[in-house]
Structure 1
C-alpha cells in the first residue's frame, strides 16, 4: 500500500453510514475522477480511485464535507470541519466547483420543484427520459450527455430556475460564473463531459471548463490524468450551437437584470401566454395587454415609454398582434383609421425615451391584413409623441439601434382558425427557447425564422402565405446572453 492510499475498512465503514441520497451526491462529485466508472456504485468508485492513487484521506474528507457528513469526519477520520475548510482554502481541491455547485443546488430544491424542472426541460430535451422520481442530479447528468449543461454552459438551468422563481439559485450560479471567470484554470480539477464519462476506456484529454475539444496548449502531466491550460478553450459552433462571442465594442451589453422591459399587446388573444413565458425565460420583465382599442394602446405605449426603469435595463422588446393593413394596426376598434406603425417606433427612439439611448429596441409585429374594401375610416386619433429632451451632445442617431420584424398574413387565416396562434410568433418563441439557437445573434435567429416561414409558404395557398419583412438600424451584434 502506498502512502496516499486509504485503508479499505475506512471506505467500507463510510459507505455503510451513507444513505441513498448521500451516495448519489458523492457518486456525482466523483464523476470526473473516474469517468470509466460512471455507472458503478460508490464503493467501487472509491476503491478504484484508491487503487489508482487518486484518493487520499484528505480527498475522502473533502467528499464527506461536500455531503455535509461532519459527524463522519470526526468519528471515522478524526478530522474537524474547520480543518477541512482550511485545507480547501489553501490547496488544490479534489472536486470541481461546478459539481460542488450542482450538489448545493440539489440540496436546496424541493421534490415538487425538481418535478417542475423536469417538465420545463421537455421543451429543450424532448427525448430525455423524465421519470417522475428522477433527482436533480440525475437530470443534470442527462443534460450533460446532451451537451446542454457544462461548467461553462449553465444558461439553460438558470432559465428554468427563473421560471420556478428560484432567484436565490440563479444568484448562486451567477456567483459561480463570476468566480470561474476570474480564477486561474490551474486551480480547478478536470471536468469530463458526461457523454464521455459513459464511454469505456476513455483517455482523459479535456481541460477544465470544457466539454469535448482538444487544444494545442493542453499538456499532459505525470500520470496522464491531470491537465492544465494556458487559456480556457471555447466550445466549437458545432458542439455548442452558438457563435462564440465576447463582450466588446461590437456587441451590445446584455447583462442587466432584468434584461429589459418586454411589452406584449395582443389584440387577438392567441399568443400572449407562450410569448410571456419565452421572454420571461430570457430574463425580461414582461407586461401583457390584451384586446386594447386604439386609444388604450396609445396611452399604454406613452406610459411604457416614460418609465424610468428603462435607464437600468440593457434593451427593450415590443410585440404587437392585431388586425391591420400594411402601414397601420386596428386593435379592437370596428370603426378605425388605424394606428400608424411608424408612430409606435417613434415612441421608443432616444428623443422620446432617453432611457433607451444606445440600447437595442426590438419590435415583432404580427398583422392580420384586412382587405381594403373591408376597411372603415371613421375615427381620428390624437397622437402625443412628445417626450423628454436629451442633451444636444448625444452623438447616437435617434433612429439607431432598432430591430423591426413585421409579419403580414391575410385576415382569412385568422377567420379560418380563430384560436390558432401566429405561425411566425410560434416559430420565434421556439427558436428563442432552443438553447442552441438562442445563443446565435439576433440576425442569425431571424434568418432561421425566415427559413421556417418561407418553408411553410411552399405548401400554403396564396391567401395563407406569410410575408416577413426585416428592417434594422442595429450598430452592433446582439446576443440575448453575452
Structure 2
C-alpha cells in the first residue's frame, strides 16, 4: 500500500523553486533514506520519500531550513525560521548531524579550497573529481568507505593541511560530541561485542546540591568533569548506580498491541517505579508522549528511567498504530532522554525494552542466535544506556492475537522474583537470553531474535543499594 501525505503538486512546485546547488544539497542530506536512488533527481527523491510516508510538514520544514530557504517555508508551509528552530529543539531531527555538518562545510568552501582538496585526494579519487563539488567528493569517499559519520579523520586532516583550521575544528567538535566524556575502560564481554557503542552524554549544567549517579550538581552555572586517565583512578569511584529514590524512577510503557501493558505496569510498580502507561498510540502521539515524559519534574529526583515499547514494525523502526513505512526509527527513541535533551537524567541509568513484531515483508529469518548482529539495530551513542530489543515475526499475532510476548512475560517474571532482583540487572538479562534460547530450540516455528547492548558504567541493581 502507498501512503502519500503531501500533494504531488506541492512537491513539484517546491522542486521548481530550487537551484542546482540546493538540489544537490537536498540529495546529499537525504542520501541515507534513499541510498538506491537510480537517478540523482530531487523530484524522484521527494516522491519516493512521500510514498514511504516520510514527508511530513515538519520534515519538509527541516529540509528547507537546512537549505536556508526561509522564503519557501513561508510560501509553502506558512511558517518561519523561529518556529522550525523550536521544533528542532523539541523533537529529534530527521537529518543526521553528520550530513548537516558536511552541508554546512560545503557552504564555507571557495573554489581555491576545492582545488586544494582535489589535489590532496587525487590518490584516492583520481583526477576525474576535479570539477566536482565538495558534497560530490564526500559522496565518492563514502562509496569507498573512506568517510562516514564515525570516520572523519581524512577530511579533518585535509582541512588542516590547507589551513582551514576553522573547518577542522567543526569536525573535531562533532567527533567529541559523539564520543562523550567517559573513557572506554573496564569493558565486559557484552560490551566487547559492540565496539561502536560509546559513552556520549556530555556534561551539562546543574543547579542543585544533590549528587546522583555521577551527575554532579553544584551552585555554579557550569561544571567541568575531569576524565580519569588511568584504570586505578576510575576504580576509586563507586561501582554501583545509586538506586534509592522513592519512587525509583519513571517507567513509560507504550503498548500499541495491548497484550502486555497490564503485566508490565504491575511489574514496575512492584519495583517502585512511577508508571505511565499509554495504549494504541499513533506515531505523532507517541512522539508527543516521549517528549512530555522527558520533561517530567519527577525525573529530577529519580535515580533511573525505564521505557518499554511494544509495536509492529521492521528491524529498524516501529509503525505504532499508523502502519506507515518506514515508521519511527528506533534509534531516535533514546534521543529524547540523553543528557543533552533531558539534563535531569544525566549520569543515571536509562533502560529500554522493545518488543517489535516484524511485519512479514520485512522479516529476515535468523534463528541461530539470541544475540543478534549489531547491524540489525543501532543505538545512537550515549552513556548509561541499556537497550534490550526483541523481534518476533508478526504472524505470531495473527495466530494468537491476545497472546503475551514470551520475552516480556519472562522479563516480568525475572524482575518480580525477589531473589533474582538481588543480582545485577545484566546477570538477570543473561538468564532471560537463556530462556529465549531454550524457547527457540523447542519452538522452531516461533523464533524470538534478541539483541542486548549497553553503555552502563556501573553495576545496576533494581532492588536498591
Same fold (TM over 0.5): no
Alignment TM-score, normalising by the size of structure 2: 0.45
Alignment TM-score, normalising by the size of structure 1: 0.43
**Which of 1 and 2 has higher RCO (CA within 8 Å, sep 6+)?**
2
